[in-house]
Amino acid sequence: MKAKLLIIEDDECYATALQRRMIKHGFNCIWAKHASDALLLARQHLPSFVLLDMKLEHESGMQLIRPLRNVLPQSRIVLLTGFASIATAVDAIKLGADDYLSKPADTNTLLRALGKVEQSKSEEDDVSSLSARQAEWEHIQQALKFNKGNISATARQLNMHRRTLQRKLNKKPGN
Report pLDDT for 33.
Answer: 92
Cis check: omega of the bond before 67, within 30 degrees of 0 = no
Residue 91 Cα distances to 9, 17, 121, angstroms: 19, 27, 33
CA 142 to chain CA centroid, Å, is 14
Q: Among 126, 133, 141, which residue's Cα sits nearest to residue 17?
A: 141
Same fold, 3-124 and 132-170: no
CATH code assigned to 3-124: 3.40.50.2300
Residue 36 has pLDDT above 70, yes or no: yes
Q: Where are the domains of the chain?
A: 3-124, 132-170
> How does the average pLDDT of the chain come out, rounded?
83
Report pLDDT for 28.
Answer: 94
Q: Among 2, 1, 79, which residue's Cα sits nearest to residue 38?
A: 79
Answering whether pTM is above 0.85, one says no
Q: Which of 37-46, 126-135, 139-148 has the lowest mean pLDDT?
A: 126-135
Does CATH number 2.30.110.10 belong to domain 132-170?
A: no
pLDDT digits (tens, 9 = 90+) for 84-100: 778 888 888 899 999 98
- E strand or H helix that includes residue 27: strand 27-32
Report pLDDT for 43.
Answer: 95
Report pLDDT for 172.
Answer: 65
> What average pLDDT does range 111-126 have in this prediction?
60
Residue 90 Cα distances to 55, 67, 94, angstroms: 16, 18, 6
| DSSP string for residues in 51-82 | EEESB-SSSBTHHHHHHHHHH-TTSEEEEEES
Under a CB-based contact definition with an 8 Å cutoff, are residues 15 and 37 in contact? Answer: no
121-127 own/partner pairs: CB under 8 Å, 24+ apart: none
Q: Which of 57-71, 110-124, 155-169 has the lowest mean pLDDT?
A: 110-124
Which is higher by pLDDT, 148 or 78?
A: 78
Residue 129 has pLDDT above 50, yes or no: no
> What average pLDDT does range 19-28 have in this prediction?
91
Residue 127 has pLDDT above 90, yes or no: no
